[in-house]
Structure 1
Amino acid sequence: MGGDGKVFTLAEVSQHSSSQDCWIIIDGKVYDVTKFLDDHPGGDEVILTSTGKDATDDFEDVGHSTTAKAMLDEYYVGDIDSATVPTKTKFVPPTSKKAESTGQSSDFVIKLLQFLVPLLILGLAVGIRFYTKTPASS
């Protein structure tokens, strides 16, 4: 089913999301994988859950072989209009550099206070002792 270079919107591709009519998007290309669903080694469900969105990451994360990637050509029907696909946002876990630096700076402040507070108390005690000492009588 060779593609004729047609450009599809995400909404158009999303309409093909059943086991009788299944299209997916990988690397900006649209594939009609309906005939392949029964033969997919991972089962048809994993493909069906990837319809209606850009499935590139899902496809790459599984680690498909070069043979599997070459098989895609057989199912190519056109390209996706990238303006209709939401931009991918990478999930940044809370342990990002920004969070680490914030954590480090607050740890530094706590350690600094733990060091300075006893010194301030000691300095205050010495100062009070020095100024309240009665002068030696002459």
Structure 2
Amino acid sequence: MGGDGKLFTFAEVSQHNNPKDCWLIINGKVYNVTEFLEDHPGGDEVLLSGTGKDATDDFEDVGHSESARETMSKYYVGEIDISTLPERLTYTGPKQPHYNQDKTTEFIIKLLQFLVPLAILGLAVGIRFYNKSS
């Protein structure tokens, strides 16, 4: 397909988000991967899930081979105007107290090391008094 290096806005690229017209943004470049959907080893859903956003992280996280990176060139259609990309939003969960699993586990083990022998001693004393009173 080889593109002419056209500059696309994010809004333009985002409109290409279905199995009949699928474009991706990867490393600032725009790829029309519509013809590749059926051939993609991970399935077409993986590619379709990358539409409407910058799919660079998704692409890099998989660890594509050099051969896969070379194959991309035939689907290149242009560049993305980075000034049109939405700001990355990061999820900030609610403030919660710090929970240290190791300290909690350590506390429970020490507590059990104290209580189990105490329970055994109490049981032994109880049995002895029970036997004397019978």
TM-score (normalised: structure 1): 0.64
SS of the counterpart of 2:87?
Answer: coil
1:33 and 2:33 correspond? yes
What is the match of residue 46 of structure 2?
46
Q: Hey, what's the Cα distance between the residues in 2 that align with 1:12 and 1:93?
A: 32
Q: Cα 1:92–1:63, aligned 2, differ >3 Å: closer, same or farther?
A: farther
SS of the counterpart of 1:50?
Answer: coil
- Deviation, structure 1 residue 91: 6.0
Q: Hey, what's the Cα distance between the residues in 2 that align with 1:93 and 1:56?
A: 24
Residue segments in structure 1 that go unaligned for 5+ positions in a row? 104-138
Letter in 2 for 1:30: V
| Sequence identity percentage | 63
Aligned length: 98
Q: Which moved more, 1:31-40 or 1:79-88?
A: 79-88
SS of the counterpart of 1:51?
Answer: coil
Q: Hey, what's the Cα distance between the residues in 1 that align with 2:47 and 2:54?
A: 12
SS of the counterpart of 1:74?
Answer: helix
Letter in 1 for 2:79: D
- Deviation, structure 1 residue 86: 1.9
Q: Hey, what's the Cα distance between the residues in 2 that align with 1:9 and 1:38?
A: 26
Question: CA-atom RMSD, angstroms?
Answer: 2.1
TM-score (normalised: structure 2): 0.66
Q: Hey, what's the Cα distance between the residues in 2 that align with 1:41 and 1:64?
A: 11
Letter in 2 for 1:73: S
Q: Cα 1:91–1:62, aligned 2, differ >3 Å: closer, same or farther?
A: farther
